[in-house]
Every structure is written in C-alpha cells, then in structure tokens.
Amino acid sequence: MTATARRLAPRLRTEDAAPLLGVSERKVQQMCQRGELRAVKVGTVWTLTEADVAAYLESRATATARATDRLRRHRRAPLPPPPVAAQPAPDVAAAVADLLRQRA
C-alpha cells in the first residue's frame, strides 16, 4: 500500500480493531506502542487501517505455521514408561523375617 493510499484508507480505532484481533482494546494499544501493529497516533488515539490488521493476522498465521512445523520436525520419540518399583519375592521376604526373628 502506498503512503498516499494508506493515508486515505479508512481508519480503525483500537476499540474497532480489538474484536478483529481477538484481544482487548488495551492489548491493541500496547501492540501499537511496541510497534507490533502498524498504527498512527492521532492525539491520544491509536488508529490503524484494515490492511494493517490483516497484515498482522497474516504474519501471525505464518509464524504459527512455521513454529508448528518446527515442532513436528523436532518432536522427540516418546519417553519409555517409568520403571515399576521392584517388590521382593515372597520367599525372600519370608527369609528376611526368619532372620529377624532369630536375632531377637
């Protein structure tokens, strides 16, 4: 979008962009302040174009897809089940009990 077209495009306020992005109005303001969303501050109000919101959503979808692909490629083999605590054989337990009785 050219600079002139961007200036002439209809503007959205943060309260209008929040439902499109699925976040709160305050979160949109923070994203504008950090530069995550391309926006212009007019007085005390952040304004965005629909194209800016669409570009952000597209970049997030692409980033999410890349991260998901990386996770799939680097997924580790499942861990083996934890070992079961060994129980002494019944005859060993009886032998130990006999030894303890003999000592007493």
| Helices of type H across the chain | 3-8, 14-21, 25-34, 50-73, 90-103
CB 49: neighbour CB atoms within 10 A?
A: 21
Domains annotated for the chain, with CATH where assigned, are 3-69 (1.10.1660)
pLDDT tens for the chain, residues 1 to 104: 566 655 666 889 999 999 988 899 999 999 999 999 999 998 999 999 988 898 888 888 888 888 777 767 666 656 677 777 666 556 766 777 777 788 76
CA distance to 67, 87, 91, 94, per residue, from 100 (Å): 61, 19, 14, 10
Nearest CA among 15, 32, 33 for reference residue 24 = 15
